[in-house]
Structure 1
């Protein structure tokens, strides 16, 4: 088993940084203006991140949750409206809608990719539906062909929760070419990070301009008279974060290439373990950045799964329990919950219910390690599963 000089598994650290980040921070410091209205780092990052995704318009914001909230507001989500979200996702997907006064409507996910099920989406559309939110789970893109058709037929816009999907592609198209809004996160564990941060990709210039005003407390560009033309908040990214993200973006392609090389090996090794099923992939998702290495151990209770995660961590793996089904979080019901019980939602979302209990993920830094590390990971997982 491959171990470093300290006798632990040789798993790369995260975040990764170096001279490019140091130079960026110094550049932001010495320009003398540390907020986006006076500096140039945020503007430069937006331009570079947009070019990377073949997008026309990117707005950098404070974090991924705010990115979702701002995008939903621009799309007309508010009190009396509904947003369809996957039941299996991080809670920000639903809370962004709920904080705007909308009702978040959970639907089930695909058992292979863990992404939102288009059939389940169609079943829950009502006259109040204002947005459909596919979450690209662990970098796997949801079925953008089927979802795009639903959006075209109904006129209901998509908002891609792409917190895990920087650099992902669908049928050779980057996210900026999929003709829908997308929201990104740059939180500490994400594929590129400044500790916190987010961005929104808009396919239309008027959407970007509306979001720009709202993300700066409702003030139009160049306003010197505190006009506050619309409602909004302070979602502006600072110059230091943007300088770090510019450096992080320069590393992203090489990191994705490494993870794309390692995942097929780890997927095969995990598949050979009796009782383990790795997350699958839609082949139309031709490029996957692999935010997580996810797998299931069907039949586990949530308690036993959590015990397994604790054991994996003790063995040196950065392992985590999968997200809870959002309807099983108390915070989901504080405001903007649907007119259904937990039990009713659980019956309607059997895949999400099962993943809630038996799914585990490893941080993407594991996939930046050596081929030997993939064998070491599988060996540890096999040993732990054998004790269940």
Structure 2
């Protein structure tokens, strides 16, 4: 084994600390055969030939402990379906975190509502319940907590706030397939839970999404909206709601059904590796693993995130440290370069919406914890790397030590 704690950095021509690669997605002939069977059947579409889609929806709902599941083309649309079904109207406000993918807020704009950014907890990078109530107004109608990186939000605190203010809670669980909060699958705790099946996700079919709920009325509306406004009681050319064709195909459904069979084992592996990597990195001065909170959780580590302190690494900026770490062979990223409200769409108010008040001004928004995470602290290790061995986790830690010793 190479002594990765000494010697020249890989970015300067030295040997890599990590020589293994971590492919994604993981599949075998089972997935290939399932897709081939659908291709040979000639029944690729939905809803006319939706057997496989319905089977996957039922399986995923049961897996999450929910009554219903509605598949759709992606995780952005699944959020949009949930927001519309929850009764939001133009001009309503929706509380969202600033440390998340654009879709969490852009779908709010798409339905002519107003995203209100609330800062993150510096210990978890999830929406900070302590900051939510100050942002609630008479126009606030919903909270969208993002289980970022697969780490559960403080759902007890968020639900308590929502109940006291009569707000809907839509869980953005795009990173959180298989993760649990106090024994309950994420996505099943609020009014609805939205997931993505995009190619990087822990459960993937390349693209796709799903939304789960226990609410009969929400299910009926979301099911109608994703199927051009039809209702089961109506005819093919009866359209009762302003929906579109957001359906997935049979090909995606069989891929997801086979991938779902792998999810529990993969989630357990990621969780165990995350705990082990926490213990290794906690011993490195200047590296702080994110907190898992104080309640029982199962973390699915769509990302493993740690906080970087450049004062312990020769004042090297985060982006340079990440370049060194990537050169050592660790699959990693510096994450988002800035909080979501600094995107041009918000700064320039390119909303194309008629119901956003002129008084809304995102140039005045400042969330210090999100700013700090983006600019200076947050380092991501990708989910496929968390499917490695304990030896791989040790090599990640050794790579960080090697960099620190070289600076």
- Report TM bin, short chain: over 0.9
Are the aligned partners of 1:50 and 1:176 in contact in 2 as well (CA < 8 Å)?
no
Q: Gaps (5+ residues) in structure 1?
A: none
Q: Hey, what's the Cα distance between the residues in 2 that align with 1:106 and 1:385?
A: 36
Cα drift, residue 173 of structure 1:
1.8
1:345 maps to 2:359 = no
Structure 2: stretches of 5+ with no match in the other structure: 5-15
- Residue in 1 that maps onto 2:396: 377
Residue 111 (str. 1) matches residue 122 (str. 2): yes
Q: CA separation in 1, counterparts of 2:140 and 2:310?
A: 35
Offset of residue 222 of structure 1: 6.6
Determine the structure 2 residue equivalent to 1:33.
Answer: 43
Q: Is the 8 A contact 1:139 1:291 kept in 2?
A: yes
Partner of 1:356: 374
Deviates more, 1:238-247 or 1:308-317: 308-317
Match of 1:18 among 21, 28, 47: 28
SS at match of 1:384: helix
Query: C-alpha separation between the residues in 2 aligned to 1:266 and 1:9?
Result: 18
- Say whether residues 1:311 and 2:324 are aligned partners: yes
* CA drift at 1:236: 0.6
- Distance (Å, rounded) in 2 between the aligned partners of 1:225 and 1:76: 25
1:264 is matched with which residue? 275
Which TM-score applies when normalising by structure 2? 0.88
- Whole-Å Cα distance in 2 between the matches of residues 285 and 233 of structure 1? 40
The question of 1:330 aligning with 2:344 is answered yes
Taking a change above 3 Å as real, the CA distance of residues 309 and 207 of structure 1, as seen in their structure-2 partners, is: same
Would you say the 8 A contact 1:58–1:199 is kept in 2? Answer: yes
Residues 250-276 of structure 1, C-alpha deviations (whole Å, 9 max, x = no match): 000111111122112211212222211
* CA distance in 2: counterparts of 1:92 and 1:383, whole angstroms: 37
Query: Aligned to 2:385, which of 366, 372, 376?
Result: 366
Aligned-residue Cα RMSD (Å) equals: 2.3
Equivalent-residue separation in structure 1 for 2:402 and 2:296 (angstroms) = 32
Q: Distance in 2 between matches of 1:99 and 1:171?
A: 33
Q: 8 Å contact 2:173–2:187 — kept in the other structure?
A: no
How far apart in 1 are the matches of 2:198 and 2:224?
A: 24
Separation in 1, partners of 2:333, 2:250:
32
Q: Which residue of 1 aligns with 2:151?
A: 140
Question: Which of 171, 175, 198 is the equivalent residue of 2:182?
Answer: 171
What's the CA shift for 1:12? Answer: 2.6
For residues 285 and 320 of structure 1, what CA distance do their matches in structure 2 show?
Answer: 28
Is the 2:129–2:157 contact (alpha carbons within 8 Å) kept by the matching residues of 1? yes
TM-score, normalised relative to structure 1 = 0.92
CA contact (8 A) 1:56 1:176 kept: no
Distance 1:304 1:98 in 2: 34
Q: Does 1:57 align with 2:64?
A: no
Q: Secondary structure at the match of 2:305?
A: strand
Q: Deviations over 1:223-262 (max 9, x none)?
A: 5452322212221111111110001100001111111221
> Could you say if the C-alpha distance between residues 298 and 219 of structure 1 is closer, same or farther in structure 2, counting changes exceeding 3 Å?
same
